[in-house]
Structure 1
Amino acid sequence: MLNDFFILMKQELTIAVIIFILLFLKLGKDRSNETIMHVVNALLLFNVIFGFIGNSQGILFNEMYRTNPLMVLEKNILSLAMLIISMQSWSWLKTHKHVIEFYLLLLSTLLGMFFMISGGTLLMFYLGLELSTIPLAAAANFNLTKRQSSEAAMKLIISSAFSSGLLLFGISMIYGTTGTLVFSQLPQLLTNTPLQIFAFILLLAGFAFKISVAPFHLWTADVYEGAPVAVTSYLSVVSKGAVLFVFVSVLYTVFKPLATAWYNMLFILSLLTIITGNLFAIRQDNFKRFLAFSSIAQVGFILIGITGSSQTGSTSVIYFVLIYVFSNLAAFGVVSLVSALTGKEKISDYKSFYKTNPVLSWILTIALFSLAGVPPTAGFFGKFFLLLAGASKGNYLLITIASLNMIISFYYYLRIVKAIFMDPNEQPIAKITIPVFPRIALYACVIGVLFIGLFSYVYEYIHSLNSPF
C-alpha cells in the first residue's frame, strides 16, 4: 500500500519536495537571486524528466485520487510549461526582492492542478481547484509597486470566489439528487431531471469562468494586463490548460448522460467565445490585453473540439493545449523579455522591431503564425484536428462560422507582423541581449511550434492513451 502511494502520487510528491527545499532555502542564509534561480530551474528540469519515468495507474483513498497514463501526460505538459515560464522570467526575477516567494506561489498552484486532474470525486476536484487559484491571486499582485497589479489580484480573487460559489452550489445539487460525489458512480445516477440540468449549468458556469469562456470572460483582459508577464503567461497556459484537461474528462465520463444538453450549450458558447475574442483582439494595443483576447478566441476553438464527444475530441483538445503551450509561451517570452528590460508592453512599441532585434522578431512572428493557424506551424494542425473533431457531429454551420473567424483572426495577428517588419519607427526598441535561460526557453518553444505538427507520432501517442468514449 505504501509503495502504491509513492508510485501513484510520484508527481505530486515531487512538487511537494521542491516546495520544502525552497522553504529551507528561504530560512537559510541569503543567496543571490541568480543562485536561487539556478537551483529552481535544475529542480524543475528534474521534475519534468522524472515525470516520464516509472509511472503507473491506480486508485487511492477510496477513489478520492486516481491516475492513469493520460493524466500523467497532462501533468507533464503542465510541468514543462512551468519550466519554460521559469526560464523566461530570468530577466525580471533576477532584480526582484521575493524570488523564492514567487516560486512557492506558482508551485503551490501547480500542486493544486495536479490534485485537480487526479481527483476522483467532485470534492477532491474542488479542493484542487481552490489550491490552484488562491496562490495565483497573490502571484498576480507580485508587482508590489504597481497599482494595476493590485487591481488585477483583486479582480482575480473576486471572480474566482464567484465562480467557486457557482461550482459549490452545483456540486451540492448534484450530491442532493444522486447521494454521491464519486465520478465513477455519478453516470448511473444522472437522469436528466431539471434539477440536475440546472446543477450542471452552474458547474459549467464555474468552469467557464476559469477558462474565460464568453460571457464569463470579463475579468481576463484586466488581470492579464495588471499581473506580471510571468504570471500572465502562467494564467494563460498552465492554469487554463489544467482546467481544460479536467473539463474534457468530466464532460466525457461523469456527465455523459447529459451529453445532449451540454452539446447545445457548448455550441452556443463556442461561437460566442470565438466572435467575442476576435472582435476585441482587433482593438487592442497593449500586448498582454491582446494575448488575453487571443486566448479567449482559442478557447472557443477548443470548445468546438469538445463538442465532438469522442476519442478524437479528447485527443484534439490535449494535442492543442500542448501546441498552445509552445505557441503562447513563445509570444509571452518575447513580451516578457522586452517588458523586463525596456518596460514597453504596447504593440505600437514594436514598430521596426526587426531592425534592432531580428531573432526576437522571428520568434514572435512564428508564435503569432501558430496562434493564427498558419501552415506549416503546429497551430494549423491543432486547429485542424479541433475542427475535424467538431465536424464529427455533422454540424457544418458551426465549422463554417469557426473557419470564417479564423480568417478574421489573420488580420489582427498579421497586423503585429506588419508593425514588426514594415511600419516605420524613428526610435525602435533598442537591441536586447537575450540571457541564456530565456534563449533556451524561446528556442525550445520555436522547435515545438515548428515540429510538433509535422510529427504525427505526438498526436497518435495522445490518441493511444485516450480510452474510447
Structure 2
Amino acid sequence: MMNIDYSQFLSMIPEVTLVALLVIIFIADFATAQRVVLPNAESKAVSPRAWFNPLVCLLMTVHIVINIFPVTAATAFGGMYYTTPAIGIIKTILALGALIVLIQSREWLSRPDTQFKEGEFYMLMISTLLGMNMMVSANHFLLFFLGLEMASVPMACLVGLDKYRHNSAEAAAKFILTATFSSGVMLFGISFLYGAMGTLYFDDLAMKMQATPLTVLGMVFFFSGLGFKLSLVPFHFWTADTYQGAPTTVTGYLSVVSKGAAAFALCAILMKVFAPMVEYWQYLLFIVIVLSITIANLFAIRQRDLKRFMAFSSISQAGYIVLALIGNSAMSFTALSFYVLIYVAANMAVFSVISSVEEHNNGVVDMEGYNGLYKTNPRLAFLMTLALFSLGGIPPFAGMFSKFFVFMAAVKGASISTTAGALAYTVVFIALVNTVVSLYYYLLIVKAMYIKHNENPLSTFKSASSTKLALAICTAGILLFGVCSMVYEWIDSATMASL
C-alpha cells in the first residue's frame, strides 16, 4: 500500500490556494444562483449579484499576498513538481494579470446576457491559472503536458463564453482545433525525447541530452507545439480570428496571462532541458523572432478592427519576449519576466479601454469608432495613449525599459566575431528597426483619437468603477515599474537565488 506524504502540498501553496478559491467560488455560485433563462426568452432577467465580483477579486488579492514573498526551492511528488524563488515571482506576475482581468470584467459581466454566466467565468479563469501554475512548476514532461491541457481546455470555454454575440463560437472552434493540433505535435516531440533517452524528468534529460536526429526532431516538434501557444510566426494563424471573436475581457486574458505562462515555460525548458543543444535552438529562435516581429508589424498596419490589431501586436510582442532567450543566461530569465510584467500592465490598460468603449458603443471595436474620442472622453483617450506609448517603447514609460533589458539580455556574452554572436546582434538590430514600425501603427490609434474628425463621435459616458480601478492599476505599472529599480531588482534577486 502506497503512503502519500501530504506535507508535499506545503511546497505547492500557490496551487493549494487556487484550489481553495475554486471551491469557495463554486459554493458561493451554487448557493446563490437563481433560475436562469436564455437572454432572448420572455421572462424577467436574473438580478445581478453585486457582491460576487468584489468577493472573487478579494480572494485573488489574498492569493497574491500569500504567495508574493519568494519561497525556498523545493520539490514534490518524486521530483515531478519543483518551485524556486524565480518561479514564485512568475506565478505572482500571472496572478496579478488575472486580478486585473477579474476587476475589468465586472462591467461586461453586468450585462443581462452575461450575468448568469458569472460563476462559470470565474471558475474557468481560475482553472486556467491553476494549469499555468502547474505548467511553469513542472520538472517532468508529463506534468508539464497536463498543466498545459488544464490551461488550454478551460481557455477554449472562455473564448466561446459569449456565443450569442459576435463570433465567439467560431473563435472557440478555431482555438480548440489549433490547440488540439499543437498539443498533438508537442506530444509527438516529447515521445521522441522519451524514446531517445528513456526518461521525461527535466534533470535527467539535460544530463543525457545529445544532438542526435531523434532529439533534434523532438526539440523542433516541442518548440512547434509551444509556438502555437505563444502565437509565434508561422504558428500564428489562429490568433487574429480568435482574438476578434472572443469576449474582449477574455481576449485581454489570452493575450497577456496565457502568453506569459507559455513564454516562461519555453524559457525554462530550453535553458534547462535543451541546454546541451543551445547552438541548435538559438538558430531556430533567430528565424522565428525575425519572422514574428516583422510579419506581425506589417499585418498590424492593415487592421481596422482593434481586437485584430491587438492580435498582431501580441504576435510581435511575443517575438520581443522570446528575444531575451537567445542570450541563454540568468539575465535572459530576468529580462523576460520583467518584460511580461510590463506587458501585462500596458496591454490590459488597452483592453480595459477597448472593453469600456465597446460596452458604450453598441459593441463596435473598429478604429473609426475612436475618431475624436479625446473630445468626448479625454481621460480614456489619455490613458489609452500612455498604454500604447509603453507598448511601443517610448521613454520614459516602462515599455522602453523592458525592451532595453530584453535587447541587453539577447546580446549578453555574444561576440560579433562568432557566427552566433553576429546573428544575435543582427536580430537585435532588426528588432530595433521594427520598434519604429510598431510606433507607427500604435500612433494610428492616437491619430484617430486626437486628430481625425468624426461627424458622429462617441458620446460622453462614465466608465464603471471597476474599469477605473483596473486602469489605475495598469497606469501605475506603466509609469512606475520602469523608473522604480526595485521591481527589476526584486525579479533579478529571485532569479539569482534560484541558480
TM-score bucket (shorter structure): over 0.9
Query: Given that residues 7 and 55 in structure 1 are in contact (C-alpha distance below 8 angstroms), is that contact kept between their aligned partners in structure 2?
Result: no
**In 2, Cα distance between equivalents of 1:9 and 1:144:** 36
Amino acid at match of 2:430: I
Correspondent of 1:33 among 22, 26, 49: 49
Which residue is 1:455 aligned to? 484
Q: Deviations over 1:193-247 (max 9, x none)?
A: 0110011000000111000100100000000000001110110011000011111
SS of the residue corresponding to residue 203 of structure 2 reads coil
- 1:422 CA drift (Å): 1.0
**In 2, Cα distance between equivalents of 1:420 and 1:306:** 36
TM-score, scaled relative to structure 1:
0.97
Q: How does 1:395-406 map to 2 (within 5 A)?
A: 395-406=424-435
- 1:147 CA drift (Å): 5.5
Query: Given that residues 161 and 168 in structure 2 are in contact (C-alpha distance below 8 angstroms), is that contact kept between their aligned partners in structure 1?
Result: yes
**In 1, Cα distance between equivalents of 2:64 and 2:196:** 41
Q: How does 1:362-373 map to 2 (within 5 A)?
A: 362-373=382-393
**In 1, Cα distance between equivalents of 2:409 and 2:261:** 20
SS of the residue corresponding to residue 213 of structure 1 reads coil
**In 2, Cα distance between equivalents of 1:110 and 1:371:** 24
Which residue is 1:133 aligned to? 152
- 1:7 CA drift (Å): 2.5
SS of the residue corresponding to residue 75 of structure 2 reads strand
Which residue is 1:20 aligned to? 23
Instruction: Tell me whether 300-309 or 223-232 shows the greater mean CA deviation.
Output: 300-309
RMSD between aligned alpha carbons? Answer: 1.4
Instruction: Tell me whether 385-394 or 119-128 shows the greater mean CA deviation.
Output: 385-394
Correspondent of 2:83 among 67, 88, 92: 67
Correspondent of 1:382 among 395, 402, 406: 402
**In 2, Cα distance between equivalents of 1:142 and 1:459:** 37
Q: Deviations over 1:42-83 (max 9, x none)?
A: 111111112225844310100111111111111111111111
**CA pair 396-54 structure 1, distance change in 2 beyond 3 A:** closer
**In 2, Cα distance between equivalents of 1:143 and 1:207:** 27
Correspondent of 1:47 among 58, 63, 72: 63
Query: Given that residues 351 and 419 in structure 1 are in contact (C-alpha distance below 8 angstroms), is that contact kept between their aligned partners in structure 2?
Result: yes
Which residue is 1:58 aligned to? 74
**CA pair 4-226 structure 1, distance change in 2 beyond 3 A:** same
Query: Given that residues 107 and 466 in structure 2 are in contact (C-alpha distance below 8 angstroms), is that contact kept between their aligned partners in structure 1?
Result: no
Correspondent of 1:434 among 449, 459, 463: 463
Query: Given that residues 185 and 224 in structure 2 are in contact (C-alpha distance below 8 angstroms), is that contact kept between their aligned partners in structure 1?
Result: yes
Correspondent of 1:294 among 294, 308, 313: 313
Query: Given that residues 116 and 246 in structure 1 are in contact (C-alpha distance below 8 angstroms), is that contact kept between their aligned partners in structure 2?
Result: yes
Which residue is 2:473 aligned to? 444
Instruction: Tell me whether 43-52 or 350-359 shows the greater mean CA deviation.
Output: 43-52
Amino acid at match of 1:345: V
Aligned length: 469
SS of the residue corresponding to residue 28 of structure 1 reads helix
Q: Deviations over 1:84-123 (max 9, x none)?
A: 0011111110122210001111111111001111111011
Q: How does 1:286-365 map to 2 (within 5 A)?
A: 286-342=305-361, 343-365=363-385
- 1:28 CA drift (Å): 1.1
Q: Which runs of 5+ in 1 are unaligned?
A: none
- 1:4 CA drift (Å): 4.0
**In 2, Cα distance between equivalents of 1:160 and 1:144:** 19
Q: How does 1:152-191 map to 2 (within 5 A)?
A: 152-191=171-210
- 1:132 CA drift (Å): 0.2
Q: Does 1:217 align with 2:221?
A: no
Q: Deviations over 1:117-140 (max 9, x none)?
A: 111101100000000000110110
Q: Which runs of 5+ in 2 are unaligned?
A: 35-47, 415-420
